[in-house]
Amino acid sequence: MTLPFSPLFIDGEWRPASTGATFDVYNPTTGKVVGTAASASAGDCAAAVEAAARAFPAWESTPAMVRRDIFLKAADILETERYREKIARVAGEEVAATEDMMPFSHYGQLKGETFESVVPGGRVFAHRRALGVVFGIAPWNAPTGLTVRALGVPLICGNTCVLKCSEESPRTQAIIAELFEEAGLPKGVLNFISTSREDSPARTAEMIAHPMVRKINFTGSDRIGKIIAGEAAKYLKPCVFELGGKAPVIVLEDADIPRAARAITSSALLNSGQICMSTERVIVHRGVAPMLLRELTTLFKRATAGNIETDPSAVLGALFTPGSAENVLAMIKDAVANGATLVLGDVKRQGTIVQPHIVTDVKPGMKLWERESFGPVAVVAVVDTIDEAVDLANASEYSMSAGLWTKDVHGTFDITSRIRACCTIVNGPTVHSEWHRNLGGLGGASGYGHFNIEDWTQLRMTILHPADEPAYPMIAKLNRAVPVGTNGVTNGTANGSTGNN
């Protein structure tokens, strides 16, 4: 059987790499090759950026309503059974996805403002303009939703895009390029690039360096984020980074414990914990800790990981690589060796399959506390006071999401104001986002920047001076100055003359 092939999409054309280079794509559960993809050359990447640059003037000048209509058409197409079936099938093959996150309706108004100038009678006209070519890098763990986000707001603001997909999910992410092509997006406005893992660092650096690339966005690990930030810093190019998460959830004595346990379980295990908003740290008041731990253990035991294609009892899929699975287990082993207690889990893997784990007595300084696991693992810490809970929640480089469980409405706002997180969810799951005001990090390991209109436009000003000419300070000085003759000597002082007073 011929394996499916994922080509590049450059200047409105689907094509192989100019060198003919390809790479294999593997199913994480079985380890079998499920497709091949074009591995773009340096020339292909340059062609993609240059196509986007050529398309930019016309796309920026396209009325916002026309751009919106293309997006609305794409959203309608995405809702068809044809696309839903294709995405579910291909994502299942490439990344063992159990469900899709396909947020799409994100449309804002590009508006300006006018106000009086500091010059009497003058006016200032401030307006938002697109940046130019945006280079986006989207990950595999929510391959449709995060691909749309990487290019959606930049495109609707009038930018053009080059989108580099993950090496794990090229065919799934290419579906978004197909979608926009079908919706009528002009050629060159969106260009789609895939590269092998070996070629990715060089191709990424080359595209960042291209003078026509104005801004970069990347969703992924903080390790890779630092590399990309370093490349962008060479050219003083701005970036938006959505990186890792280590979401803490504080559970107070007055919380609805069964409901809190359900929300924590959902956010800890959804997509096998491979979401930046996953609940990884549970910080619970001592008075309700035994009850919460019992509830969590019961729910976690019911969540079986396995081959979701063949095992009807499996509700969790594989982790994305054997290395990722091994890293999760290494973090758990390290914690136990340093005094943590394993409450649930076998600390084993079957290839990329890891069963849910709960670990208690995990403390700051342990790798399982400090670093994102990206696996089906929750750690539980017990505290005696709210101040201690807040301090533990903030004992992290991550700042993406957090949670709080309490019935004290008035106390809620005091506590959430002290938690260093972009978004703190009260009495709900940490895997949650308001798409009209999206998540982001507050710096550090969670990154910085957002996917809002103001992040993908530049505020430019036109200042109109009044019809009546004002007094110019330099001209007034010139008018008061004593004239100088053509020989460079002040008129009237040559040959010893003192001139007129």
Catalytic residues: 242, 276
Which H or E run includes 412? helix 409-416
Q: How many CB atoms lie within 10 A of CB 271?
A: 22
Contacts of 119 (CB under 8 A, 6+ apart): 463, 465, 466, 470
Burial class (CB in 10 A: 0-12, 13-18, 19+), 319: buried
Q: Which residues pair with 326 in a beta bridge?
A: none
Using an 8 Å Cβ cutoff, are 207 and 213 in contact? yes
Question: Which tokens in the block code for residue 174?
Answer: 């290419």
Using an 8 Å Cβ cutoff, are 90 and 172 in contact? yes
Q: How far is Cα 410 from Cα 84, in angstroms, rounded to an integer?
A: 43
Residue with structure tokens 């079908």? 182
How do beta strands 457-464 and 160-164 pair?
Answer: unpaired
Which H or E run includes 137? strand 133-137
Residue with structure tokens 């080509």? 7
The 3-state DSSP class for residue 353 equals strand
Using an 8 Å Cβ cutoff, are 132 and 214 in contact? yes
Question: Which tokens in the block code for residue 281?
Answer: 């740290």
Convert 214-248 to b/e letters by CB count within 10 Å (16 or more is b): bbbbbbbbbebbeebbebbeeeebebbbbbbbbbb
Using an 8 Å Cβ cutoff, are 165 and 174 in contact? yes
Using an 8 Å Cβ cutoff, are 136 and 161 in contact? yes
Helices within 4-63 (DSSP H only): 42-61
Contacts of 495 (CB under 8 A, 6+ apart): none
